[in-house]
Structure 1
Amino acid sequence: MTDKQTEMTTMDKVNQSLARRYRAERRFRAYGMAAILFGLACLVVLFTDIIGKGHSAFLQTYVAMEITYDSDVLELSDPSDSNAVARADFQGLVKQSLRDTFSDVSGRRDKRALYALISNGAGFALRDRLANDPSLLNRSETVWLLADDDVDTYVKSRDDEGGAFTGRLNEKQIAWVEQLIADNAVEKRFNTTLFTAGDSREPEQAGILGAMMGSLFTLLVTIALSFPIGVAAAVYLEEYAPKNRFTDFIEVNINNLAAVPSIIFGLLGLAIFIGFFEMHRSIPLVGGLVLTLMTLPTIIISSRAAIKAVPPSIRDAAYGLGASKMQVVMHHVLPLAMPGMLTGAIIGFAQALGETAPLLMIGMVAFIVDIPGGVSDPATALPVQIFLWSDSPERAFVERTSAAIMVLLAFLISMNTLAIWLRKRLERRW
């Protein structure tokens, strides 16, 4: 075999080897793209399902009723007396209006079915109207009242291809609803109750404001405690702590705590804050303390990584100009590391905002109707509210569960977007 033939044989082997490597690289890139596309497809399916189920919760059905504020029905003579107004039978006005609208309805059972078309909270709306305008007594006006959740579900599903969902409505109730629709007395409006009310046993009266305020107070406690403690711990471990077995033990345990399931922190909070310190259950203060324990490892790790990213030349230049250790850390290291610290902290807070398990352990799963006014008031959180609604049998709670998930996702996406914006806005390049 000549040298030229030998050289050709070697080149062929090299080309074949390169071709195999290029094919393997293309396959690897194709696998990566397929994985990304599969993840995006799953995400699209998830969001489509949530939005498809939850978008209707932002609308609510109202029924126009001619209400006469009859003093005899109300058993009220002085509308300026707040105590008398509070005791008046405003739901009786709704029943009287329904009987006047459907005068052919007779029998106790049929009347009970007729009264069920309007939410049992409509009387409170009429009470507020009369309290704000006492001159309405013994006068009539047309008022749009909140429909019952079964009526709301039926009206929203009338245009669906699968047909209207009748649910618990009987044939007579459906006929009455259709008559109201034909009279243009039924209307779908933006559901302000969803954002202005607390939890309720009745789906049409249930809102997420109480859960949102509970999450806000809990998150404020978490931010106020975890960020300064986490940053201080990171500064100490990176700038002051000697490298020995004790600090190595601390670092290992911090990294291990970041991987501990969140429910363990809930058990810890139950044992320490409620069991030992005897703090009240189901309050944002305890929830914030528990979430502080959970987010501290994440903040410490991200803050230490940000401090390590500061070039040593910055420290050396500051020392060369006569700065003390404290001045170097406070005037140079912390300002340069702050973008990374804020990014890690916001991601940790977003994780805390979406946690459910530790809050369940400390009793924030309670049914809370009132809107909390501070960190010591009984409250629940938005993820826990979603958990409670998802276990409710009424179909109207299904759409409200999805709507609450959409609101929670909006908050989480906003917090992550803020983290990215802060990193881009504040980071410096050397």
Structure 2
Amino acid sequence: MTPSPKTPNTMDVVNKNLAKRYRKEKMFRFYGIASISFGLLCLLFLFTDIIGKGHSAFFQTYVKLPVVMSADALGITDVNDPHQIAGGNYQGVLKQALRERFPEVTDRRGKRALYGIVSNGAGYELRALVENNPDILNTSLDVWVLADDDIDTYVKSRSSREGAYTGRFTEQQISWIESLIESGNVEERFNTTFFTAGDSREPEQAGIRGAMMGSLFTLLVTLALSFPIGVAAAVYLEEYAKKNKFTDFIEVNINNLAAVPSIIFGLLGLAIFINFFEMPRSIPLVGGFVLTLMTLPTIIISSRAAIKAVPPSIREAAMGIGASKMQVILHHVLPLAMPGMLTGAIIGMAQALGETAPLLMIGMVAFIVDVPSGITDPSTVLPVQIFLWADSPERAFVERTSAAIMVLLGFLVVMNALAVWLRKRLERRW
């Protein structure tokens, strides 16, 4: 007679299933850790690439030249006449200094290449010296002037593993540069122009101040409009509006608008503010209107969540001692919900700071040299400035593009850190 199979023990079955479940949990945990590690690795690679390309933009190459500030050569007869000082032939004086430094250069093509050592804007530096101290006229002095962007790139790349970037240089030009370096007439200094100047066609003269001021004015308009409107809408929907199909329709549309691509808001701003109201293009006022439309859903959603987090007992206690509905909201609900509202507003502003597409649609992609002084002056913003520089053919704009990205990322990190700090500092747990 064949014996019947042994019935498995209940504990053996449980242990087998537990071992199988533990293996799956370990695999799931491994996948999660691997995903996070891969994301952090990609982020580290991105930051390393940006910093590696952009850190050199914070330094600029200068060339020292012995310049004779001859009033006759400059065409200045009256030092008290500001028009004569402003219109002096400073670039000609620099060319004369270069010819005296390299007297062996006599042909026209060689002189043209020699003059390219210094920047086209170096004459403005001499003009500033004369305007600040007219006594230097008819004297000889050593002046550090801005080098051309190709010279700057060559000097910065001399110590790289790939070797010095020669670009369009001839052997003669390289010998001039090496001669200046060996004599101690070339040095790198902190690039203050990058933070104090507006945009320029010449990389060595280009700066981000105009874009930063444009971003500042645009964000001020956005904050002044989106925060009070968003908070008011959240208060109405949470405290006053009745729950019906109409309010449900509004809530659904607010949530949907938070997921709409930002370029749609740019098209809306182009159709309404520029085409219908005929407002001028490329001004922070219109940019602020467009970004207000984009950030309102984020602020409304975060403000509603903050209001919902206030315990009902706060409202009931205030009403129990005779407070009106408005007093309950203004004196109790809003102060307690303000940390969450501020956090949402800062995150919305950080989102607006990094936006490019909606501002391109309203013309803030224009080439703006002058630094704006108000919300109605033509300007651009930092993300658009990065977009313009990334499309420039000059090699020196590569490092300035990366440096501008570093500045933008710095602002975004600070704004998000401020949001986290406000939440931790002002948050109350119930």
Shorter-normalised TM-score: what interval? over 0.9
Q: TM-score, normalised by structure 2?
A: 0.98
Checking the alignment, whether the CA contact within 8 Å between 1:157 and 1:164 is kept in structure 2 is yes
Distance 1:160 1:79 in 2: 47
Q: How much does 1:314 deviate? A: 1.2
In the alignment, which residue of structure 2 is the partner of 1:303? 303
Distance change in 2, residues 1:423/1:6 (3 Å): farther
In the alignment, which residue of structure 1 is the partner of 2:363? 363
Distance 2:297 2:53 in 1: 37
Q: How much does 1:332 deviate? A: 1.0
Q: Within 5 A, what are the aligned runs for 1:372-391? A: 372-391=372-391
In the alignment, which residue of structure 1 is the partner of 2:46? 46
Q: How much does 1:348 deviate? A: 0.7
Structure 1 ranges of 4+ moved more than 6 A: 5-8
In the alignment, which residue of structure 2 is the partner of 1:168? 168
Q: Within 5 A, what are the aligned runs for 1:209-224? A: 209-224=209-224
In the alignment, which residue of structure 2 is the partner of 1:232? 232
- Secondary structure at 1:53's aligned position in 2? helix
Checking the alignment, whether the CA contact within 8 Å between 1:194 and 1:207 is kept in structure 2 is yes
Distance 1:314 1:34 in 2: 45
Letter in 2 for 1:54: G
In the alignment, which residue of structure 2 is the partner of 1:145? 145
Show CA shifts across 1:180-207 (max 9, x none). 0010000000000000000000000000
In the alignment, which residue of structure 2 is the partner of 1:36? 36
RMSD: 1.0
- Secondary structure at 1:110's aligned position in 2? helix
Gaps of at least 5 residues in structure 1 are: none
Letter in 2 for 1:112: R
Distance 1:177 1:201 in 2: 23
Show CA shifts across 1:297-339 (max 9, x none). 0000010011111111111111112111111111111111111
Q: Within 5 A, what are the aligned runs for 1:131-210? A: 131-210=131-210
- Secondary structure at 1:259's aligned position in 2? coil
In the alignment, which residue of structure 2 is the partner of 1:80? 80
Letter in 2 for 1:190: F
Show CA shifts across 1:12-55 (max 9, x none). 00111111111111111111111111110000000000000000
Q: How much does 1:427 deviate? A: 0.4
Distance 1:25 1:79 in 2: 83
What is the identity percentage for the equivalent residue pairs of Structure 1 and Structure 2? 74
Gaps of at least 5 residues in structure 2 are: none
Distance 1:51 1:124 in 2: 31
Q: TM-score, normalised by structure 1?
A: 0.98
Distance 1:225 1:68 in 2: 56
Checking the alignment, whether the CA contact within 8 Å between 1:302 and 1:340 is kept in structure 2 is yes
Distance 1:378 1:361 in 2: 15
Checking the alignment, whether the CA contact within 8 Å between 1:55 and 1:399 is kept in structure 2 is yes
In the alignment, which residue of structure 1 is the partner of 2:251? 251
Checking the alignment, whether the CA contact within 8 Å between 1:91 and 1:123 is kept in structure 2 is yes
Distance 1:306 1:317 in 2: 19
In the alignment, which residue of structure 2 is the partner of 1:10? 10
Checking the alignment, whether the CA contact within 8 Å between 1:80 and 1:131 is kept in structure 2 is no
Q: How many residues align?
A: 426
In the alignment, which residue of structure 1 is the partner of 2:425? 425
Letter in 1 for 2:315: R
2:69 matches 1:69: yes
Task: Give the stretch that moved more between structures: 316-325 or 178-187.
Answer: 316-325
Distance 2:126 2:208 in 1: 23
